[in-house]
Amino acid sequence: MPEQTVLVAIDIGTTKVCVLIGEVGARTGGVDVIGIGQAPSDGLRKGVVVDIDRTVQSVATAVDAAERLCGLKVRSAFVGISGSHIGSQNSRGMVAVAGRQHDVTREDTMRAIEAARAVSIPNTREILHVIPRGYVVDGQEGVRDPIGMSAVRLEVETHIVTASSTSVQNLSKCVQRAGVEIDELVLTPLASAEVLLAEEDRELGIALCDVGGDTTDVAIFQDGSISHCATIPMGARSVTSDLGLVLRVTPDVAEELKLKQGTALPLDVDPDEVIQITSIGEEVPRPITRRHVAQIIEARTTELFDHVAREIEAAGATNRLQAGLGLTGGGSLLRGISKAARDQLGMSARVLAPRGLGGLTDAISTPPYAAASGLLTWGARNWTADEVREGARSLDGVGGRIARIVRGLMP
């Protein structure tokens, strides 16, 4: 394996496409970000591609910006996927332990996982991930790593993530038309967890909410692993839309109002504080109270956290998430959102930003970059050195850069 390998991550959101290029040290396994590129995205709705040409252009623009920064040519990447078409379920697989000594081998665990994978799903859907949650060895539950243990029967509890086949195909088509092959499609909140959650969070139980533009991805972790995931069809742009409709202002004015004057906590705002806005069709600004703006925002965030509460209940995790709620994504930057969540859900809540990466971290150490950062870390942790592929190569005239990424060597 070379001293350094190169990974590429592409996060295709409803408001922006973000591309990160990172070097992975062979000895340390640490990831240093060396390339960053982003572009506005308007080809997706609710996490699903609705305009292929626009999405292709956004991906190509973001990739080009990242390439220019680090002097590498992107060939392949880990790509995040989310949206309302994502589904999940838990499944158990069981096998007899092979071999005369009845010692559990890696092959036994793989056979058990394959047995769990054999679930009935519609032919319009496909499996993205089969994630082991724990093993049962001859009736003994709670086993994390059964390899080497003596057993006759091995069972595995898995979490299976599925997606709409057409949504997967359309997203893949956009990336490939932009000139990039896909190393792996990774569920966005699963990737984000790699750079947001400590092992203690997963053990204690936590609900991770990535508040994007049109959607909010929810992933619930219990007993050290994911137990439930879902996508709520509302996000930060829902707040912007409400402000625009109620106050009769343009989307740009509504967005600026949300970011500069908005808060999810009306009672924390002086009721006499007045701001000036210019409505559509009017030339003269008119006064409104800042508390009125906050009340509009509060109505939508209350609805959002009602949905989050239902997902927590669906996971059987009510009153069991000791680590509380973790908020990330661009929507988590809304002033007062963590306190609003804490008050409504009755649990601790905090905003989480990526950590654990090196290199150009000053530029990506904020919640909007959690998914892209997580995709890099996912690749570094989950792909093995004997599966190397040339995912990036040096640009003409630029020498000395290592240009390989984990997964299969290209001819």
Residue 394 has pLDDT above 60, yes or no: no
Give domain limits for the chain: 4-84+166-197+352-406, 87-162, 226-351
Span 296-307, pLDDT tens digits: 999 999 999 999
What does DSSP assign to residue 98?
P
Residue 407 has pLDDT above 80, yes or no: no
Residue 336 has pLDDT above 60, yes or no: yes
* Chain centroid, CA 143 distance in Å: 28
CA nearest to 260, candidates 243, 235, 246: 243
Asked which of 277-286, 307-316, 401-410 is least confident by mean pLDDT, the reply is 401-410
Q: Which residues contact 161 (CB under 8 A, 6 or more apart)?
A: 86, 87, 88, 127, 128, 129, 131, 187, 190, 229
Contact predicate 137/143, CB 8 Å: yes
Q: Which residues contact 331 (CB under 8 A, 6 or more apart)?
A: 211, 212, 213, 216, 235, 236, 239, 337
| Sign of the dihedral through C-alpha 153, 158, 164, 166 | negative
Instruction: Give the model's confidence band at 360: pLDDT under 50 very low, under 70 low, under 90 confident, else very high.
Output: confident
Domain 226-351 indexed as CATH 1.10.10.10: no
- Burial label for 95, CB within 10 Å (0-12, 13-18, 19+), is buried
* Beta-strand relationship, 16-25 and 4-12: antiparallel
E strand spans, 189-272:
206-211, 216-222, 225-232
pLDDT at 30: 84
Domain 4-84+166-197+352-406, architecture per CATH: 2-Layer Sandwich (3.30)
pTM: 0.88
Identical fold, 4-84+166-197+352-406 and 226-351: yes
Cα 88 to Cα 112, 126, 128, 158, 237: the distances in Å are 19, 11, 10, 10, 26
Span 236-290, pLDDT tens digits: 999 999 999 999 999 999 999 999 999 999 999 999 999 999 999 888 899 999 9
CATH of domain 87-162: 3.30.1490.110
CA nearest to 49, candidates 20, 88, 15, 14: 14
